[in-house]
Every structure is written in C-alpha cells, then in structure tokens.
Amino acid sequence: MYGKWINAIINLIIVGFVLFMIVKAYNKTKTPPAPKAPAGPSEIDLLKEIRDALKK
C-alpha cells in the first residue's frame, strides 16, 4: 500500500517539474513587445496651438 502511494507522489513531482520546465521554455521563446512609437504632442497641446494661431 505504501509503495503505491509513494510512487504516485514521485510521479506527481516528476510531472509537475516537467510541466514547469515546458512553461519556462515557452516563456523564453515569446518575443518581447515592440516598443511604442514616440508620442507626439497631446490633444491639449494641439488645441493650444490652434487657439494661439486663431488669436493672431
């Protein structure tokens, strides 16, 4: 009885370790996200420019 229980525990540990290694390897293969494009002027800045242009 004890042998089956110990065998099941060992198998569970082995399977868990193998799954951990698979997930770890998969995460390494993922490409990092592309860098964002440089942000231009904000909407508020554009509205200020339009306001200043209309005042002239």
Residue 47 lies in a domain: no
In a domain, 41, yes or no: no
Residue 44 lies in a domain: no
Range of the domain at 28: 1-32
Q: How far apart are CA 40 and CA 56, in angstroms?
A: 24
pLDDT digit string (tens) for 6-53? 999 999 999 999 999 999 999 988 877 778 877 788 899 999 999 999
Confirm whether 3 is domain-assigned: yes
Type of residue found at 7: N
Distances (CA, A) of 29 to 6, 23, 38: 35, 10, 27
Total domain count, the chain? 1
pLDDT at 10: 97
pTM of the entire structure?
A: 0.52
How many residues are recorded in the chain?
A: 56
Copy the structure tokens of residue 25: 């390897």
